[in-house]
Chains A and B, each alone.
Chain A
Amino acid sequence: MGPLLGLSLRQLTGRRRLLLIVLLALLPISLAALVSALLGEDETSNRDFTNTLLDGLLIAGILPLVTMVLATTAFGNELEDRTLSYLVLKPVPRSLIVLPKLLASIIVGGPMLIASGVVATLLGASSMGAIIVVVDSEFQAAAAVGLAVFAGVVTYTAIFTWAGLISTRALAFALIYVFLWEGLLTSFLGGIRYLSVRGYTLGILHGIDDQSFGSLGERVIEFPAAIVGAVVVSVTFFWLTVRRLRTMDVP
């Protein structure tokens, strides 16, 4: 797996792609810092804004966007460049071709997204503007954000890696899934949250710290359902990707 992980990391860490990810990840932090500085002592408003920022911007937008940019190209670029044969013509099980591709996307996108969520949470929780005083409750909120975003990164990556292997239009598929299915349809049909990575991410966030993220309230699914959903979807799409790689004709 080592050589393939190294290769995948190099493929995903192009300068422009990294810059885009860093800029996107900095957005919630900058906004949280700005609002925290402006609202100052008003801790409740500050926290509410941060929650909206996390849900509406990071979890609903930046998280799927960053994972989509990385994961759809994990195999998408190999197919487009016709280099996939270099990987499959080796004595390596298909699962050990898919796993490093997944890991590379998670390693490149995960830490920045988690850092983005954690720092934004800490800034929002602080009543002293940019000066962060971490107390237990804030630490718990930050940990909840970190774990939830991590679960979101893994689950989205599994889906989008599969999409990148089955279609050259994976990015379009991913955008439709995120903005139509998760964004629009979920507001009309609440049950879709159980079939939505955003639903799992918010469910885990709320499940770990319902005090800090109580404002998400009725819009989230139950914690166990969120955990099971994220695991089942990740494993299923990993398996589908391996199966696809096994049965497809490689160009």
Chain B
Amino acid sequence: MTSLRSAPNQIMSEPTITIQGASKWFGNVVAVNDVSLQVYPGITGLLGPNGAGKTTLLHMISGLAKPSEGEVTVLGESVRGNQQLYRRIGVMSEHEAVYGFYTGRQFVEFAGRSYGLKPLAPAVDRAIDNVGLTAVQDRLLGTYSRGMRQRMRLAATLVHDPEVLILDEPLNGTDPHQRIEFHDQIRLLASEGRTILISSHILEEVETLAEHILLMVSGKLAAAGDYRAIREKLDERPYKVRIEVSNPRLMAEALIRVEEVDSITVEASGALVILSQNIHALQQSVPRLAKEQGVRLLRVEPLDDSLESVFGYLVER
């Protein structure tokens, strides 16, 4: 890989990707709603639950979709209809389909030829070596595992040494070991001055990777900034736990005296819904109190561990 030579301070002064008031709707459905953001060199994670509009936003950035409103520029130029800009951009879509009749190498060669790379072989060798698939490059893509296919797709995306990489859910189907390798690969590419925008619906998938986070919920940009700031906000989030006990009123009386419990609601079924800032204290208090009160614990379940509720919490803030 050739290093990009921009000095870090120059890099920071110029955003690589700029989106200004972009919206995209399909009939009555608004997929992306008035989003404005800037992406700088380095790794940026685009997070959000499924259906949040991440892919539509990435499609607008990569020129696959035309914004219904607003403007998208990459490297200072409009992407839509600007074919020559693809010499500087690499896009890996979320769809995992490949031409199954090609070997891994032929697939990367096809990409390289389409970019008009000369000489082709060294660029293909380097791209395949980068993703660690040299040993299986002559096997048909149709015989690859999902993880291998994703990595070979990444090789095809990297073959022309792009300055900007847009990766839509690239870690789908990869195992933990492959994820670590993939993370190392992405970090290396970013250290060379590239802009890498990587989407995921799994928070943990990019938390150790991305320095900046863009958070999308329901088509809107819910938060943007440093990952740590967003994580802190998440840690402040009250936890909701639902418990079923043999004597709900007795248990509620005991729980309300616990300092870490913010509120208790008794449902019609008799189940208790407890709201607490300190999940660890609650985990200890509930069984202790049940034992003290002679109450049987029938069921304990966290209510809002889903990603949607985590993102929803941030949007409300």
Contacts and interface: CB of A to CB of B under 8 A. Distances in A.
A85 B81 contact: no
B110 A7 contact: yes
A85 B64 contact: yes
A79 to B, nearest CB: 11
B116 A89 contact: no
A249 B66 contact: yes
Interface stretch (A30-38, A58-66, A90-98): A90-98
B95 A90 contact: no
A82 interface: yes
Contact of A90 (B65, B83, B93, B97): B83
Contacts of A251: 64, 95
Interface in B34-80: 59, 62-66
Chain A: interface residue count, which band? 20 to 34
Contacts of B99: 7, 10-11, 83, 86
Contacts of B110: 3, 6-7
A251 to B, nearest CB: 8
Contacts of B109: 3
Interface in B86-134: 86-87, 89, 91, 93, 95, 97-99, 101, 109-111, 113-116
A157 B91 CA distance: 31
A91 B62 CA distance: 13
A250 B64 contact: yes
Main SS at interface, chain A: helix
Interface residues of B, number: 28
A7 B89 CA distance: 22
B269 interface: no
A228 interface: no
Given A89-B64, A91-B116, A250-B64, A82 B95 contact: yes
Interface string A215-251: 0000000000000000000000000000000110111
B65 A91 contact: no
B10 interface: no
Contact of A3 (B65, B87, B113): B113
Nearest to B60: A249
A99 to B, nearest CB: 14
B91 A85 contact: yes
A4 interface: yes
A83 B98 contact: yes
A92 B160 CA distance: 14
Contacts of B89: 89
B66 A82 contact: no
B84 interface: yes
16 contacts: A3-B113, A10-B99, A10-B101, A82-B95, A83-B98, A85-B64, A85-B95, A89-B91, A90-B115, A91-B83, A91-B85, A91-B114, A91-B116, A247-B66, A250-B59, A250-B65
Interface of B: 59, 62-66, 81, 83-87, 89, 91, 93, 95, 97-99, 101, 109-111, 113-116, 156
Given A10-B101, A91-B115, A249-B66, 20 more contacts: A2-B113, A3-B113, A7-B99, A10-B99, A11-B99, A82-B93, A82-B97, A83-B95, A83-B98, A86-B99, A89-B62, A90-B86, A91-B84, A91-B86, A91-B114, A92-B83, A92-B114, A246-B81, A249-B59, A250-B65
